[in-house]
Structure formats: structure tokens, C-alpha cells
Amino acid sequence: MSWDVSAVRRQFPFYANLEHPLHYLDSAATAQMHAAAFEAMGAHDIHARSNVLRGNHRLAEAATLAYEAARASVARFLNASAAEEIVFTSGCTAAINLVAGALAHSLQAGDEILVSLAEHHSNFLPWQRLRERGVLLRALPLDAVGCIDFSRLEVQLGNRCRLIALTHASNVTGALTSAADIAAVVAAARAVGARVLLDGAQRVQHGPVDVRQLGVDFYAFSGHKCFGPTGIGVLWGRREALAELPPFMTGGGMVGRVAIDESSWAEPPRRFEAGTPPIAQAVGLGAVLEWMLALPWERIRAHEEALLLRLLAGLMAIPGVALFGPANAADRLPVIALRLATHHSHDVCQVLDSRGVAVRGGHHCAQLLHRALGVEETVRASLALYSDADDVDALLAALHEAARVLA
Amino acid sequence: MSWDVSAVRRQFPFYANLEHPLHYLDSAATAQMHAAAFEAMGAHDIHARSNVLRGNHRLAEAATLAYEAARASVARFLNASAAEEIVFTSGCTAAINLVAGALAHSLQAGDEILVSLAEHHSNFLPWQRLRERGVLLRALPLDAVGCIDFSRLEVQLGNRCRLIALTHASNVTGALTSAADIAAVVAAARAVGARVLLDGAQRVQHGPVDVRQLGVDFYAFSGHKCFGPTGIGVLWGRREALAELPPFMTGGGMVGRVAIDESSWAEPPRRFEAGTPPIAQAVGLGAVLEWMLALPWERIRAHEEALLLRLLAGLMAIPGVALFGPANAADRLPVIALRLATHHSHDVCQVLDSRGVAVRGGHHCAQLLHRALGVEETVRASLALYSDADDVDALLAALHEAARVLA
Amino acid sequence: MNEAIYQQALKDLAQAAHGAGRLAGHDGEALRDNPLCGDRVRIEIVRNAGLITALAQETRGCLLARASASLLGLRVPGQTPEQIAAVARALREMLNGGELAADAWPEWAMFQPVRGHRSRHGCVLLPLEALLQALAA
Amino acid sequence: MNEAIYQQALKDLAQAAHGAGRLAGHDGEALRDNPLCGDRVRIEIVRNAGLITALAQETRGCLLARASASLLGLRVPGQTPEQIAAVARALREMLNGGELAADAWPEWAMFQPVRGHRSRHGCVLLPLEALLQALAA
Ligand SMILES: Cc1ncc(COP(=O)(O)O)c(C=O)c1O
Ligand SMILES: Cc1ncc(COP(=O)(O)O)c(C=O)c1O
């Protein structure tokens, strides 16, 4: 049985309400939101709106239960050991900043952090900033098509490395970091006592993740990229890894005792959730992840891969198209960065938009990766479980058009 | 003409869908959400969902326009000089952490921060934490009813004070910090070169604010306390005050040029909005603030004050009730902290809940204020523009009941 | 519905404050806060030949916490750590909606109306958690 | 609709790249980035007796930025800083939906189709902003 795109589109209010045809191929930036999130958030904000954890009237009870149930849903989605390992943040960027900011309190000058040149700025700048504390930033280089070169792991991993932060999938090339490479990174990290963080922002849109099997210590992602609401993100941390971190932000709800001279912190996850959290957004995310948990991911992967191959084949037939990323479909997400001759990506996107094709141009918050590939910007098309062959064909036709219009 | 509560309740889906009578008197924790926010967010997520600032297809254009229009609405609500002075955050707590975290980069050992003992933990702990950098934390004491004692300003304000952080209104006693006191604080701060931050979390629910008239440098608040969504907050900063701050969090969207060794920051407000912002939530907040801007605030204040007086009169008639906060209704918000004999607030709240009255017990994230008043916890009732005399009477009756049940 | 929680028996149990105070000497102690309300329980115990022979509790908290602590003061002396572990299990199960185990202390039954109020479970459990911590120390 | 933006005249203007390159000596320069796309414009100017007598531009960017920079290379030499300020005002007004001022450079008209595309306004304005910055320095 194949994956039924029109059925799934009916579950996305975006598609149900589309007035003019639009081929949305920008899901890597923000995916459309599933009905489950609309419904769960709407119902929550009408029937159970209240602050959480701090009151005992019926609405406060209902809100707290809903919020904690969402935490349990995230734990299931990631196969975490316990709901207490899930910290809600405002996004993937905030989750990574949380780890960097909390870790900063115990870093010494000369300690090292290892990243890669493929990282999104959100998984690069927070680590780069630790240089203010004398921390050394090292980076794994890229190969010719923009994939992380793991053969350089041993050379780049110093004895004083405290954390390795890598993307689980590139937002530009779509390259997946393989389970084997992750295992090698984890083993190497263990040997020097470093923690491992994976940036799952792109990966989560394509199915549940098993953090226990991955063996890493931290995993971060955003709701808006996996069919959930904006304003919510997740940091998963292995129990021991979270326990050893002090808070990043402070405020209501994350303390034990407050005195004028000193305060004590609550246990994780509350220690990391200062202030009123994004309650309705957590509830919306929980609902969407439950929906995702029930999907037939093998069929969806086959569908996405078929579209990817169709797209790749069509692109090869367009004169002047240059592609980046892994050649093998199994090693990548259906996310493709390309250049059309020497045309600027924003000019290309403009023409594509006039043809009802929404893709993204620019450096995609990955300037280092682009520079490593010798370009400043690319056009990126990204497919999701609601994409279909029409979308792909429209993109290909529009690229032919763009080549003509911009020549 | 008096304020029509039943008309305004029809604009709140919470009231329109209430199945059992519920007297919601916990708006200081989280206010119910206005229809304008439901509608604006729903429509945005259906018709204009996309990432902002980074793309040029039609959805990205629409999302960016909506997001920036929301910024302009916030600027109008606060009477800020320019939309660029508005930074969207995930909440009031995050906004205050932003200022504290960014300021930390330029603080020297021996510099001072001045707060008060009336502060919510969210406007106390971020400053207390700067002690790790050798910063001295000073605090204005409270008077007998829990109001900030501004007569101690001169004594507590050192030459090396870099910032004064005070609440615009207490979330426990409801005490408003007067324009005169704020003016004195600003003048004193200017004399030593300190910045002034006001925590407006409680104040915004009761009408627009004029930051230019207040003369302060920073103003912080949350969406969920002013009838808007959870997951969104605001930091307003005077142009020069924002310009001199480095970023707090880093990531996509807030940089200029990224290189392996060094990166340059974007201008405010983007410098402070790392990662994908809470887009739909900003749009929802903008819609609610536009609604608020058009309300007849004089009538609403008269209404709230009348309810407050009715409540105060009724409370005085209950044996064993102890009240805190200013005696004069004009000096306070309709937020009341009380103790019922020696009964624990959570026991009182439990009985009240069984009578359909939702109020909050505990320390309300203000342990220092409670300790200064010689108690550990209080019952807090908070009224908003949708509260009515029935709510007040139900609370009073339920308190009589609680005294009986718990005796 | 709710005031079923505040039956006379429960109020009396809290009022009785069994075991209230401190012990001159002890073999274990623990201090536990409920960060949400500032409630605090201190438990001190004396152990002898595998038994807990004395327990003192100091509780600042709501009626539920005080009644629960008072019950510990009444029932714990003479019990083994294993019995306490079983008691804790039985109480948690009951709060989560299960039946009270037949061999559990019968007084726990008066906390049954708390079941539907998740935010109050912590109040009932706080003294017991402090005791388990004192035993583990 | 959109390809109205990419008329032959605009592409030719970008291609012509008037003023492309660097000046051996100059009285003012500015480097400006568009952080959203990594585009970059460098402007160098020579001033003499109240006039801008020479302008060089180096532009890495889209057709809009390149055409706009090329127009500066063509039109700026011989103008006063006041005239440039007026030109900037006229362009901003036009992009925001107004009519192009009668005395503005007529070539700006070819940027009119960009009006409805807010995200591209920055591309058109980038060279002019760099020029204003060079004048202010
Ligand atoms: C006075 C005051 N300041 C700050 C906050 C923190 O706001 P939030 O929890 O929405 O971040 C609150 C509310 O909890 C408050 O009442
Ligand atoms: C690989 C990667 N990491 C991190 C992020 C940051 O996510 P967010 O902007 O939602 O915080 C993104 C998306 O922008 C991404 O693609």
C-alpha cells in the first residue's frame, strides 16, 4: 500500500484552505501545522487555560495534567527513559543555548568544544561564543559535497573536549548523520569524558527518533518543523547529563528556596523551565507527536524517497544546475540545495514564486557550509510527507522558466 | 456609561464555553485569552504559516509582514518611539533573563544591581545570579503592608549601580509603583549612570503603558497575562539601551557575518531574536493589544475599582482575614493577597475550588516578599476586566465556607 | 465534593501532630521542601536492630501534609524500612486511583478524596518522601 | 506577474555594472551586508567642491542589488550629497507604494514591480544605503 498524500493533506488546514495553487517546498524552514495541533491548542486555550504547576484549582489541575501529558508524548516520540528527561523550551535554538549557557558555568579556559562546518548557526554560534571563556572551538571539516568528514574525528577530538555538537541532518544538503558515525562519535566522546549533543531540528519531521539507541546525551528540536506550533522546542537530556547542569535562565517555577543571598534549584526538568512555559504550544506539540507516532513511517520514507529521486532526475536534466549533498538517497532527507547556473538564489526564488512554487534562497543560516562549498547562497527545496509528484514537477518546470527569464 | 461585563465575556471563548459555573479569579497568574488572539493565530497558521525574515516566497512575505505588524502593535501599546525597540521573547521571564544575561558581559566585580524585596522570582533570580561575577545585589526593603519603601532609595543606591530592576505592580499585594516613585528612581539612576528596568507582567493586563512617559530603559511583559497567548513575551528597550547590549542567545537570524573565528551581530531587535521566533504567538499578541488599545480604560478602571472595594468590604467582615498591600484602591491593581486565620492557603483554595471559585495559594513566586510579611504563603484573588460582582460575592461566600470547613 | 477531603478525622489527625518535635539524638534525618508552596518537612529517626524505633517530625504545611506527617509519627515506630517502602508503594497506588492494599495502614483511607486532585498528591507524599530519604541516608 | 521584475532593461543595467571596481584613492567608503542572504556591496567615492566626482561599486548580490548598484555607478558622479539624499527618499517612497517623484532618476521606474515584494526592498536599497554611509563617514 502506498502513502496517500491527498488523505494526509485533508488533515492540514493549510491545504484544505488553499485558494490559489501553491507548491509548498519549504518545510525544512517551517512545516505546515497538522490539525491535531490546531485542535489541541484551541481546546486547551478554551477549556483548560491556566498557569501550570503553581495552583490547585480545577483549571490549574487540568492545565498541569495536559502540560505533563505533552511531556510524556515527547518522551515517547524520542523513546526517552522518562518524561523527566524532557525539557520544554521556546525552540531548538533556545534548547541549544540552554546547554551551552548552563555548561559555561563549569568550563575552564583550555576546554574544547567540537562542532562541524555543516552546522546551522543555531548549533554553531552558541558554542563559538564560549570562546569568551577561553574555550577552544574545533570543527570537523566537510567533504566535497558538503557532508561532515568523520575521518577527521580523531585528529579534531582533543583530550579536553567537553562536548561534541553535531547536526542529525543538514538543513542545506539534507545529509543524514549515520547511526554508525554517531556511534563512533559517542565512543570517542566517552573516551575523553565529553558529552554529545545532536541537533535534530531537521530530522524529527521525518519520523520518531530513538535517543537511547543513538546513545547521545542531548537532543534538541523545534515544534514548528515537525508539524507543530511555533514557540515551542524540546531539549532531551539523559538524566545524569541534565542533573549535572545548573540552570540557564532563572525565574518563577525553577527554584527551591529563595533567600536574599542564595537560592537552591529545583530538580530537572523544572530547573530548566524558568517562568510560565509555552503551555498551549506544548500541548499542541504533544498532540502532533502522538499523531506522528501512529504513522506508517516505512511507507512515508518510500514516498519521500521516490519524490526525491524524481526531483534529482529532473534536476540533472536542467542545464547549469549544480547539486550538493550525498548522492545516495538513503543517506539523506528529501532536502535539496542547488544552484542554477550563476543566478542568485533570490532571483530564482522570485521567479519560482511567480509560478506558485515556494522554495527558499540564501545561506539558510549555514554560512560556513556554503563557504566550504565555495558559494554564498543556494536555492533549497524541501519535501515533506504531504508533498507529491505535482510539487516536484512544478518545481522542475519553474526552474526551466527561471533559467529562461533570468538569462 | 458603565463597563458591560457580559458583552466583553462574549468575546472570551472561555466564558462562551463554560459548562459549569466557574468564578475565575486567577487572572494574575494567567488571564483568559481573547477571541482576537484565537482568530489571528488560527488564520495565520492556516493562511500565512512560514518562517520569517529568511525567504521571499509569498508565504514567507506574508508571515514576515504579519510578524512585523505585531511588533508595531506592541510599540503602539507601549507608546515606544519605534518598532525596532520591541524584542519578542518567549515570555517576561525570558525578557528579563535577556537583559541580565546580555548585561553580564560588561559587568565588573563590584558593580551593583538594585532590586526590591517585592520582586517576583523572575525579576530577582536573574539579578541574584550575577553575584557569580562579583556583582553586588542590593534590595529596597518593604514597609509593613508589603510595599516597596522608596525612602531607602538613596541609601541603597551605590555609585557603581548599573541597573535598577523593579516591578511596575506586585503580583501579590497588587501595589502599583507610582509614576512619582518611578520618576525618582529614574532620576537617581541617571545620576549614577544606571539603567532602569520595569517588570510590567502584572501591569499590562490593566491597560496600555507609556514607556516614554515613564522614562525607564527597559520594560518586560508576557502575552498570557494580558489576554494573549502563552509562549510570547516582550522586551522593550530604549534604542540606545538595546544598542549597547550584546546578544543573549545566539543562532539563526541574529548574525551578520559568520566566520569560524568570529561573528558579527545584527542590529536590534533581530540581534536578540535568535532562532525561529514565536511567530503565530506574536501575531496573536499583536491582535489582542490592538483590541486593548481601543478599550475604554477609564470605565474599566472604575469597574475594577468598584469590584475591589466590594471585595475589600466583604473581606473585612470575615473573622480572621488578614490583608496585605496598599489601603488606597487608587494605589493598587485588583489583586489581593490574604490569609484566613492560620489556615494554609492550599487548604483554603481547595475548599474554594469545590465552590467553583478559582484562586491561587502559595508563595506566588515571591518568597522574599512573603518572608518580609512574616508568612510563607497567601491566598491570592485577582480580578480582570471580565470579572463581575457575582465573582466577588462567590469568593466571599466560599471564604466563609472555608473558615467553617477547615475549623 | 471537595470538603470530603477535610473530614473531622483528618483534621484531628493533623491536630494531634503525633511525633511533633525533634529528637535529642538520631540515626538519620531529612529535610524536604515542596518548592511550589514553600511547605517543609523535617524527619528524624532512631534505628535499632533493623527497626525504626523513634520518629520525630516537624512540618510546616497544609492540613494534608500535617495529617500525613502525624500518621508517620503514630505508625512508624516499630516498623522496618521494608515495611515503610511497602507503605509508600501502597499510598502512591491509592493516590493514582488504585485500591488501598489490604495490609496498608487503614488511616490512609482518609486521604482517598485527594485522588482526583493531582496537585495535592505532593502534600500527602512529602513527609513519606522525607522519611525514605532519612532511611536512605 | 513576477517576471515583470526581470525585464531586459533591468538585466542589462545589472550586466552593464557601471562603476564596477575599486578606486585608487577615495574620500569615503562603506561596506554593507544584507545578513539575510549574505549579499555585500562596497562603495567608494571621491568628492570635490561639494560634488561626488567618482563612484566605484563592488557588488555581490542578486540582479536587483546589482542593477541598483550599477545605476549608482551611472548616475552618481556629478551629484551633490543633498541630491543623493533626495534620491534615496524618492526610491523609498516608490517602494512603499508611492509614485516616483517627477525629478527622480527615471531608471528607478524599472524597480516598480518590486513594490509588492517587501523582502526584496532591501536588495534594491543596499547599494544606496552603502552610499549614504560612505557620505556620512
Ligand atoms: C510580577 C511578575 N513578574 C514576572 C512574572 C513572570 O512572567 P512569566 O512567568 O510569564 O515569564 C510574573 C508572572 O508569573 C509576575 O507576576
Ligand atoms: C539544522 C537546524 N538546526 C537548528 C535550527 C534552529 O531551529 P529554530 O529556528 O526553530 O530554533 C534549524 C532551523 O532553523 C535547523 O535547520
Please write the tens of the pLDDT for every residue from B172-216. 999 999 999 999 999 999 999 999 999 999 999 999 999 999 999
pLDDT digits (tens, 9 = 90+) for C39-67: 899 999 999 999 999 999 999 999 999 99
Of the listed ligands, the closest to the CA of B97 is: 1
Whether C1 shows a pLDDT value over 50: the answer reads: no
pLDDT on residue B226: 98
B365 catalytic residue (yes or no): yes
Chains sharing 3 or more CB pairs under 8 A with chain A: B, C, D
Count structural domains, chain D. Answer: 1
At A369, list the grid cell: 557550509
- All residues at 6 or more sequence positions from D70 whose CB lies less than 8 Å from its CB, including other chains: D13, D14, D16, D17, D18, D19, D20, D57, D59
Cis peptide before B269 (omega within 30 of 0): yes
Partners of C54 in the beta sheet?
C46
Q: What pLDDT band is residue D37 in, cutting at 50, 70 and 90?
A: confident
Nearest-CA distance A304 → chain D (Å): 28
Q: Determine contact, residues B29/B21, Cβ cutoff 8 Å.
A: no
Listed in sequence order, the residues at least 6 apart from D15 whose beta carbon sits closer than 8 Å to its beta carbon are none
Mean local confidence (pLDDT), B367-377: 95
**Rounded distance from Cα B93 to ligand 1 centre (Å):** 6
User: What is the pLDDT at residue B336?
Assistant: 97
SS3 A331: helix
- Residue A191 contacts by C-beta under 8 Å, 6 or more apart in sequence? none
Q: How far, in Å, are B115, D35, D86 from residue B244 at the CA level?
A: 22, 20, 31
Write out pLDDT tens, residues C93-115: 999 999 998 888 999 999 999 99
- The mean of the pLDDT values for chain A is 96
B59 and A358 within 8 Å at the Cβ level: the answer is yes
Confidence of residue A157 (pLDDT cuts 50, 70, 90): very high
CATH of the domain at D108: 3.90.1010.10
The pLDDT confidence band at residue A174, using thresholds 50, 70 and 90, is very high
pLDDT at position B107 is 97
B351, B363, B406: residue with CB nearest C38: B363
Answer yes or no: is pLDDT of B287 > 80: yes
Q: Which three cell numbers stand for residue B157?
A: 543606591
CA distance A300 to A314: 21
Contact B169, B191 (CB under 8 A): no
Mean pLDDT of B137-143: 97
Cβ proximity of B287 and B42 under 8 Å: no
Class of residue B33 by CB neighbours under 10 A (exposed 0-12, middle 13-18, buried 19+)? buried
C118 touches chain A (CB under 8 A): yes
- For residues D23 and D46, is the Cβ–Cβ distance under 8 A? yes
Average pLDDT on A351-363 reads: 95
> Is the Cβ–Cβ distance between C135 and C87 less than 8 Å?
no
pLDDT above 80 (res B22): yes
C-alpha–C-alpha distance, residues A51 and A54, integer Å: 7
- Chain B, residues 309-348, CB within 8 A of chain C, namely 344-347
Q: Model confidence over A66-124: pLDDT tens digits?
A: 999 999 999 999 999 999 999 999 999 999 999 999 999 999 999 999 999 999 999 99
Grid coordinates belonging to B235:
522586551
Q: How confident is the model at residue C3 (pLDDT cuts 50, 70, 90)?
A: low
The 8-class DSSP code of residue B108 comes to -
Pairing mode of beta strands B378-382, B321-323: unpaired
Here the contacts of B265-270 (C-beta below 8 Å, separation 24 or greater) are: B266/D35, B267/B84, B267/B243, B268/B84, B268/B85, B268/B87, B268/B237, B268/B239, B268/B242, B268/B243, B269/B71, B269/B84, B269/B85, B269/B86, B269/B87, B269/B88, B269/B242, B270/B53, B270/D35
Residue A52 grid coordinates: 501550570
Residue-level pLDDT at C113: 94
Q: Atom 12 of ligand 2 has which residue's CA nearest to it? A: A201
| A43 in reach of chain C (CB within 8 A) | no
Please state the rounded mean pLDDT for residues B313-322. 96
**CB contacts, 8 Å: A399 with chain D:** none
How many angstroms does the Cα of residue A233 sit away from the middle of ligand 2? 10
SS3 label, residue A262:
coil
Q: Could you tell me the domains of chain A?
A: 5-30+296-406 (3.90.1150.10), 38-293 (3.40.640.10)
pLDDT of residue D36: 74
Residues in Cβ contact with A193 at an 8 Å cutoff, skipping those fewer than 6 apart: A162
Q: Which of A258-262, B89-93, D107-111 has the lowest mean pLDDT?
A: A258-262
**pLDDT (0 to 100) of residue B327:** 87
Query: What is d(CA B394, CA C121) in angstroms, rounded to the nearest whole number?
Result: 27
The residue among B61, B71, B255, B273 with the most chain D CBs within 10 A of its CB, best to mutate, is: B61
**Among the partner residues B55, B56, B256, nearest to D35 by beta-carbon distance:** B256
Q: CA dihedral defined by B205, B71, B65, B43, rounded to 10 degrees?
A: -10
Residue D38: pLDDT band with limits 50, 70, 90: confident
Report CB contact under 8 Å: A45, B29.
no
Name the residue with cell 539558510. A364
pLDDT (0 to 100) of residue B221: 98
Q: How confident is the model at residue C37 (pLDDT cuts 50, 70, 90)?
A: confident
The pLDDT value recorded for residue A31 is: 98
- Binned at pLDDT 50, 70 and 90, residue D3 comes out as low
| Interchain contact, B65 vs D118, CB within 8 Å | yes
Q: Tell me how far apart the alpha carbons of residues A143 and A373 are, in angstroms, rounded to a whole number.
A: 9
Nearest-CA distance C32 → chain A (Å): 10
Mean predicted confidence (pLDDT) in A13-32: 95
Is A365 part of the contact surface with chain B (CB cutoff 8 Å)? Answer: yes
Asked whether this complex has an ipTM greater than 0.85, the answer is yes
Option in C1, C38, C63 nearest B376 (CB): C38
Q: Which chains are adjacent to chain B, needing at least 3 Cβ pairs under 8 Å?
A: A, C, D
DSSP chain D: -GGGTT-HHHHHHHHH-TTBS--SS-SEEEEEEETTTTEEEEEEEEEETTEEEEEEEEEES-HHHHHHHHHHHHH-TT--HHHHHHHHHHHHHHHTT-PPPTTS-GGGGGGGGGTT-HHHHHHHHHHHHHHHHHHH-
Query: What is the band of D1 on the pLDDT scale with cuts at 50, 70, 90?
Result: very low
> Which pLDDT belongs to residue B56?
83
Which of C2, C36, C61 minimises the CB distance to B344?
A: C61
Cell numbers 495565520 label which residue? B44
What are the cell numbers at B144?
509593613
Which region among A162-171, A227-236, B92-101, C117-126 has the lowest average model confidence (pLDDT)?
A: C117-126
CB-side neighbour CA atoms (13 Å) of A245 = 32
Q: At what angle do helices C118-136 and C81-95 cross, to 10 degrees?
A: 170
A199 lines ligand 2 (CB under 6 A): yes
Grid cell 550584546 — which residue?
B246
**Helix (H) / strand (E) containing A136:** strand A136-140
Q: Nearest-CA distance from C51 to chain B in Å?
A: 34
Q: Report whether B346 contacts A56 (CB < 8 A).
A: yes
A324 min Cα distance to partner chain D (Å):
18
Q: What is the pLDDT of residue A124?
A: 98
| Amino acid letter for position C136 | A
Q: Using alpha carbons, select from B264, B146, B166 the residue that is nearest to residue B217.
A: B166
Listed in sequence order, the residues at least 6 apart from A119 whose beta carbon sits closer than 8 Å to its beta carbon are: A165, A166, A167, A199, A366, A368, A369
Please tell me if the CB atom of residue B275 comes closer than 6 angstroms to any atom of ligand 2: yes
Highest mean pLDDT among A2-16, A42-56, D100-114: A2-16
Supply angle C-alpha A351, A357, A362, rounded to 5.
Answer: 65
> What domain range is C37 assigned to?
3-136
Across the interface, whether the CB atoms of C119 and A61 are under 8 A apart is answered yes
CA atoms within 13 A on the CB side of A244: 10
Chain mean pLDDT for chain C: 93
Please list, in sequence order, all residues whose beta carbon lies within 8 angstroms of the beta carbon of residue A369, skipping any fewer than 6 positions away. Answer: A117, A118, A119, A142, A146, A170, A172, A173
Record: contact A279-B358, CB cut-off 8 A? no
Q: Fill in the amino acid letter for B237.
A: G
* Chains touching D, CB cut-off 8 Å, 3+ pairs: A, B
Q: What is the mean pLDDT of residues A364-387?
A: 96
Q: Residue A19: pLDDT above 90? A: no
Average of pLDDT values for D26-46?
Answer: 90
Most A CBs within 10 A among B12, B22, B30, hence the mutation to make, goes to B30
Q: What is the pLDDT of residues B30-43, one digit of tens each?
A: 999 999 999 999 99
Q: For residues B369 and B363, what is the distance between their CA atoms, to the nearest angstrom?
A: 9
Alpha helices in A13-57 (DSSP H): 13-16, 35-47
Which one, of B297, B286, B301, B228, lies nearest residue B27 by Cα? B228
**3 state SS of A222:** strand
Phi-psi region of D97 (alpha: psi -120 to 50; beta: other; left: phi over 0): left
Q: Would you give the end-to-end CA distance of chain D in angstroms?
A: 40
* 3-class secondary-structure state, position A132: helix
Residue A62's pLDDT is what? 94
Over 90: is that where the pLDDT of D109 sits? Answer: yes
Half-sphere exposure of B34 (CA within 13 A, CB side): 24
Question: Does B320 contact ligand 2 (Cβ within 6 A)?
Answer: no
D63 CA: distance to closest CA in chain A (Å): 7
Task: Check if C2 contacts B (Cβ < 8 Å).
Answer: yes
Contacts of C123 in chain B (CB under 8 A): 346
pLDDT at B295 over 60: yes
Whether C2 shows a pLDDT value over 70: the answer reads no
Measured distance between the N- and C-terminal CA atoms of chain C, rounded to whole angstroms: 40
